[in-house]
Amino acid sequence: MKSAKTQVAILALCQATAMTTNTVMVTVAALIGYALATDKALATLPLAVRQVATMVATIPASLLMQRMGRRGGFLAGACIGAMGAVLGIYSLTQASFFLFNLAMGLLGVSNSFVGYYRFAAADVADEAFRPQAISWVLAGGILAAILGPWVATGSQGWFNGELYIGALVAMLGLQLLTGFLLLGLNMPAPATNHRSTRTRPLIQIMRQPTFLVATLGSTVSYSIMVFVMTATPLAMAAVEHSFDQTASVIQWHVLGMFAPSLITGWLIKRLGVLRIILTGTVLTLACMGLNLAGTTFWHFAMALLLLGLGWNFMYVGATTLLTETHTPEEKGKVQAVHDFIMFSFVALATFLAGRVFHRFDWALLNQLSWPIVLCTLLVVLWLQRWRKQTVA
C-alpha cells in the first residue's frame, strides 16, 4: 500500500481541483442567477440549491463509501459533478433558470463527497500526523486560489456572446481531472463487519461537550463564511466594482481559506486545538468590522482575506476536535451526522444571503453575522475552562 503521505498528497490534489471548481462557481453563479431569474432576490438560489443538495447527500455519501470504499465513492462524486457541469452548459444555452438550479443540485451532490477528503486523510494518518494530514489536504485549495479566479475571468472570452459557458466548460474539465487523479488513490477496503465491536448510540456521542463544540465551530465557520462570501459579488457589483476586481477579491479570500493549512496542523499541535478555533473567531469578527467600515476594493479584499483565515482556523480546528469524539468503528455515522448538520445551516445561509442583501443591505448582512460568531467564541472558551476543570 502507498504511504500515508502519498495518499494525503493525492487527496490534496483532488481537493485542489474540487475547490477550483467551487471557486469558479462562487465567482459566477450568483451573477448567472441574477441574469436568469425573473425575481432578482433569487440570485443566490442556485448556490442555495447546491448547498441543500450537499446537505441531503451527505449521509448517503458516507454510507456509500462505507460500502464501496473511499475511492469508489469519490469517483462516483466526480461523475455526478461532470453531469452537473454538462447540464449547466445546456441550461445557459436555453437561458433556463430551472435547469441551472438542477445543474447546481448535481454539483452539490458531488460536493458532498468532496467534504470527506479531509476525513479520508485522517483515516490514513496516525494520531501524531492526523492534524497535519487534515490541514495538508485543505491546503490543496491554495491552487484553487490561483487558478479559480483566473479560470473564471479567462473563460469569459471562450464563447462569443455567452459570458459564462466557458466557466462551466472549465468546471467539466476539472471534474474529469479529479476522476483521473482518484485512480491513483489506494486506501484500505472498508470494514465489512463491526458486529463484534460495541459502538455507542449516536445520541450518546452527540451529547459530548467536545462533539457539540466541534459541530458548532465547523457549522458557524462555514455558514458565516458562505453567508458573507456569497453576497460579496452582488455587493461589489452594487457599488460598481468590475468583474475582474470581484474575481480578485474572491482570489484573496480563497488564499486566506487554504494557505494557512500549510501550518495550521503544526499550530494545533503546538498551541492546542481550542486556541486555534478561538483565533479563527477573532479573525472572523475582524472581517465583519472591515465590511462595516467601507466598500472600497481594499475593504472588500482585506475583509474577505480575514474571512478566509478565520474559516481555516475554525474549520480545521473543529475537524480535528471531532476526531476526538469517536472510535474508528463509529466514525462513519459521526462524520455523516456532523456534515449533515453543518451543511443544513450552510444551505440556509446561502439562500438567505441573496434575500437579506436584496431586501435590506450589505451592512445589515454583516450586522447579523457578528453576534453568532461572538457566541461561538464564548462557547469555545467555556469548553476550554471545562476541560481544565476536568483534568484538575
Please, which residues have CB within 8 angstroms of residue 212's CB and are 6 or more apart in sequence?
206
Longest dimension (CA), the chain: 69
Q: Which has more confidence, 57 or 261? A: 57
Taking residues 6-11, report their average pLDDT: 84
Cα separation, 27 vs 24, whole angstroms: 5
What is the predicted pLDDT for the residue at 194? 47
Cα separation, 56 vs 49, whole angstroms: 10
Contact yes or no for 347/55 (Cβ under 8 A): yes
How far CA 242 is from CA of 77, 269, 311, in Å, comes to 34, 42, 26
Please, which residues have CB within 8 angstroms of residue 255's CB and are 6 or more apart in sequence?
142, 145, 305, 308
What is the predicted pLDDT for the residue at 292? 92
pLDDT in tens, 28-56: 777 788 888 877 777 778 887 887 888 88
Cell triple for 78:
466526480
Cell triple for 128:
501524531
How far CA 267 is from CA of 272, 357, 386, in Å, comes to 7, 36, 22
Cα separation, 347 vs 350, whole angstroms: 5
Q: Is the pLDDT of residue 211 over 90?
A: yes
pLDDT in tens, 239-259: 888 878 887 888 888 888 888
pLDDT in tens, 121-170: 877 777 677 777 877 787 777 777 777 767 777 666 676 656 678 888 88
Cα separation, 336 vs 67, whole angstroms: 14
Q: How many CA atoms lie within 13 A of 255 on its CB side?
A: 13
Closest C-alpha to 362, from 308, 251, 288: 288
4-186+201-391 domain in CATH 1.10.3720.10?
no
pLDDT in tens, 154-163: 666 676 656 6
pLDDT in tens, 329-375: 777 788 888 888 988 898 788 778 878 887 888 889 999 999 999 99
pTM: 0.73
pLDDT in tens, 333-343: 888 888 889 88
